[in-house]
Structure 1
Amino acid sequence: MSADSSPIDFSGLIREADLVVCGQATAEPVTLTEALMAQAAQLPPFRMMIGPVFSDTFSAACAPSVTFQSYGVIGNARRLAKAGRLDVIPSNYSAFCADFATRRHGADVVLVQLAEDGDGRLSASLSNDYVIEAARGARLVIAEINPDAPFTFGAEWPGEVPIHMRVAARRLPVELASTPPDDISKRIAAHAASLIADGSTLQFGVGRIPDAILSSLSHLRNLGVHSGLINDAVVDLIACGAVTNAEKGIDAGITVTNQVIGTQRIYRFVHENKTVAVRSTSYTHGQNVLARINRLVAINSALQVGLDGSVNSETLNGVAVGAIGGQLDFVRGANASPGGRAIIALPATASDGSSRIVAHVETVTTPRADVDAIVTEWGIAELRGCGLAERARRMIAIAAPEHRDALSARLRAR
């Protein structure tokens, strides 16, 4: 069945109270989502499930009849959250995806971006997340066939999941370029890199600090990648010989990811590349899988870390500004991995000058019992196995100097 190149009309397709699920991040089917948002005011009220947003599709100006939900506040989803338009589901990413498989989240309409190869086979391309499971039980599945989306292995569209409508893409896939490192991220990266050895397997997220850490690892050898996402920096590490995936213990020679988030550079790299596998969340984030990987190093970020090691990656002043995401999945996976490390890396100071090392975090994303190493530009706090008093001393030592006295005073008072 060929893709229809005419503009799609959603009238009659969207019913009142429908849950509409669309591809997230760079897998957003922008031709479809832009048309849906443009027509939303003329449609019955419906719910929209989104993930990280790197397009300009969704904004506070969207029709008030649309209710937005997400598992976190990432990228341009912050615009919706700031306007009070985003209902956050506090869930680990692995559990959030699994809830579509078990129908705890029941999608009515699914919008997905797909790639098609020369033999007519379809691939979910840039993300193998919850969309396929959502589509299994949906009333209506609309696929945007994008000739510029890479065909990736591991993300092949299941033949038993019907596609009811095919629409030709009118836009290139969404891109997210890396942010150049600044002085603070370079200092953080230098400390974090000292914890990563030859033969380690890397997991990392989006942002300036993970990118800075990856760019500091070109001197290492036989690194592997098993991550929730990969980006342009991975292409550099493969090109320089740092990443070979030879010592992972599983998936030898294969870079494994759940999503591809970057620019046309990595999209061209992963296209029909059998050394890259875009696998389902149950595999990329599964504890039984992560525990089998050799020396898994999980690199994640935070908004705050408490003196006891508790990590907050979700809220500030009671407002959702982040996400649980896959942080706890990978922290626990790295702790279970032979020789693994779980690194939480963050600047010691927020943009307003306040300390991000605090006496107590307001929301616990990763509990103190799971924390391994905390890294700021001022050093590394090795917390695994430490008592609370020693943890506090080590955390204060990596806080910004101008905040250390106040934190010490809070510690003495406590």
Structure 2
Amino acid sequence: MFGDTSSIDFSGLIRENDLVVCGQATAEPVTLTEALMAQAAHLPAFRMMVGPIFSDTFSGTCASVSFQSYGVIGHARRLARAGRLDVIPSNYSAFCADFASRRHKADVVLVQLAETADGRLSASLSNDYVIDAARSARVAIAEINPDAPWTFGAEWPEDVPIHVRVAARRPPVELPSPPPDEVSRKIAAHAASLMADGSTLQFGVGRIPDAILSSSSHARNLGIHSGLINDAVVELIERGAVTNAEKGIDAGITVTNQVIGTHRLYRFVHQNKAVAVRPTSYTHGQGVLARINRLVAINSALQVGLDGSVNSETLNGVAIGAIGGQLDFVRGANASPGGRAIIALPATASDGTSRIVVQVETVTTPRADVDAIVTEWGISELRGCGLAERARRMIAIAAPEHRDALSAQLRGVAL
């Protein structure tokens, strides 16, 4: 069946307690999710599995819909603040693998696809858990979006059926890069000093990763193997800083799991054989990451303890972040020849409190895996250091107004 959203009657498709899985981030099939939410009050109660949310689709959801996710990213924080989001504490790689093994089993899948003139389909902006979810779903519904880029690596498998096809009513969700501020520029300058020529970069979403990428144009023959790419990658490629020539694998190819940016990025990746949107098992796989030369993993945090433990998930007992692919890439970078695992964060939170703390409340990346911590005040090299030296180095990159208090608190705590 092919038509517009008026032809979709979800009352004939959604059953009591169904798990509905939809594409995440910029791959959200907004035509379908908006139609589903508009009809939700008249449907049986169901569960919705979401990833990062960058649209306003779920801001006015009804009480009969419950939500699950592997983290609290973007507008998913609205659901979390309302107590409507159940967080599954899982590494992103394991979360995706659970759909492949059917530990998680979707009943209904909503997906955004791109299509060529000869009918070949691509998952376009994300090659995550949706294909495996659709493989065993009762119903798979595809929103065919003519504005979604057709990407290599994300070809839709012929053995995974699409039961309903719908024409998209709007272009894909876009996420512009935030402008850098003074703190992010200082952090970026420190982090960029850890990148050698020929490094392969992994990074996330946000002001600090974007600033670091912008500060990396001095390097030569950079590669990209990341969970996502954004508009800043286009800049690096067009400047000639990214060649993907020295990665050790995938020579000449930018590898990513998701494409998160604006129309400029979407045009760049469309039918571009130099970009591969690969499945999570490849982009986050430890065996793959260990083969990459000089993998530099750049990730963020909410807090870092004086022992090096990293918290990217909770503050004051409330989930406001995610495990995501952080530990996957930290361990992958540690195993990579010449690799570096960088955790970059501002030393001070928006309320003035220190983000360098004596002990973190939730451990996302254990202290045993930590390599380098970067704030606007400098770099703390922690690999191979004992606990006392770690504490000294961490206090040195805290904001100056918090250093004495951290030293005083440390005296009463056993790390």
Instruction: Give me the TM-score of the superposition, normalised by structure 2.
Output: 0.99
Q: In 2, Cα distance between the equivalents of 1:118 and 1:394? A: 58
Give 1:195's aligned residue.
194
2:406 matched to which residue of 1? 407
What per-residue deviation string (whole Å, max 9, x for no partner) do you get for residues 185-227 of structure 1?
0000000000001100000000000000000011111000000
Aligned 1:347-362 pairs, distance under 5 A? 347-362=346-361
In the TM superposition, 1:194-273 aligns within 5 A as: 194-273=193-272
- The 2-side partners of 1:44 and 1:5 are apart by 23
Q: Are the equivalent residues in 1 in contact too, given 2:248–2:291 (CA < 8 A)?
A: yes
Structure-to-structure mapping, 1:3-402, within 5 angstroms: 3-7=2-6, 8-59=8-59, 61-402=60-401
Q: Give the whole-Å Cα distance in 1 for the aligned partners of 2:397 and 2:135.
A: 48
Alignment partner of 1:81: what SS? Answer: helix
- State the shift of 1:412 in Å: 2.2
Secondary structure of the 2:80 match is helix
Structure 1 residue 5 displacement after superposition: 2.4
User: 1:77-131, CA deviations, whole angstroms, 9 ceiling, x for partnerless residues?
Assistant: 0000000000000000000000000000010000000000111100000000000
- Find the aligned partners of 1:32 and 1:72 in 2 and give their Cα distance: 22
Aligned partner of 1:52: which letter?
A: P
| One-letter amino acid of the structure 1 residue matched with residue 26 of structure 2 | T
CA distance in 2 between counterparts of 1:185 and 1:354 reads 17
Partners of 1:179 and 1:15 in 2: CA distance: 40
SS at match of 1:149: coil
Distance in structure 2 (CA, Å) of the matches to 1:16 and 1:85? 18
2:109–2:130 Cα contact (<8 Å) kept:
yes
**Equivalent pair of 2:5/2:35 in contact (CA under 8 Å):** no
CA-to-partner distance for each residue in 1:10-55, whole Å, 9 max, x for gaps? Answer: 1111000000000000000000000000100000000000000000
Partner amino acid, structure 2, of 1:330: F
Distance 1:354 1:9 in 2: 50
RMSD: 0.6
For residues 136 and 340 of structure 2, the distance between their equivalents in structure 1, rounded to whole angstroms, comes to 38
Q: Are 2:5 and 2:32, in contact at CA under 8 Å, matched by a contact in 1?
A: no
Distance 2:196 2:333 in 1: 14
- Partner Cα distance (2:184, 2:9) in 1: 46
Query: AA paired with 1:219?
Result: H
Local SS of the residue matching 1:228? strand
For residues 11 and 177 of structure 1, what CA distance do their matches in structure 2 show? Answer: 36
Q: Name the SS for the 2:86 alignment partner.
A: strand
Alpha-carbon distance in structure 2 between the residues aligned to 1:171 and 1:237: 29
Distance in 2 of aligned mates of 1:193 and 1:109 = 44
Distance across 1 between alignment mates of 2:289 and 2:117: 34
In 1, distance between residues paired with 2:411 and 2:362? 23
Whole-angstrom distance in 2 between the partners of 1:409 and 1:319: 27
1:43 alignment partner AA: L
The Cα of 1:393 is off from its aligned counterpart by 0.1
- Once the two structures are superposed, residues 293-337 of structure 1 have per-residue CA deviations (whole angstroms, 9 ceiling, x without a partner) of 000000000000000000000000000000000000000000000
- Aligned mates of 2:38, 2:314 — CA distance in 1: 31
Q: What is the letter of the counterpart of residue 367 of structure 1?
A: P
Counterpart of 2:225 in structure 1: which amino acid? H
Percent identity over the alignment is 86
Cα distance in 1 for partners of 2:252, 2:236 equals 14
Q: Amino acid of the residue matched to residue 57 of structure 1?
A: T
- How far residue 171 of structure 1 moved from its aligned partner, in angstroms, is 1.1
Q: Distance in 1 between matches of 2:412 and 2:109?
A: 54
Using the TM superposition, give the Cα deviation of residue 291 of structure 1 relative to its aligned residue in structure 2, in angstroms.
Answer: 0.2
Question: CA separation in 1, counterparts of 2:109 and 2:5?
Answer: 19
CA distance in structure 2 between the partners assigned to 1:6 and 1:302 by the alignment: 40
Which secondary structure state, in structure 2, belongs to the residue aligned with residue 256 of structure 1? strand
Residue 413 of structure 1 and its aligned partner are, at CA, apart by 2.6
User: Which SS does the other structure have where 1:413 is aligned?
Assistant: coil
**Do the aligned residues in 1 keep the contact of 2:68 with 2:85 (CA within 8 Å)?**
yes
**2:5/2:31 contact within 8 Å kept:** no
Q: Note the residue ranges of structure 1 that are not aligned, 5 or more in a row.
A: none
- Superposition deviation, residue 6 in structure 1: 4.7
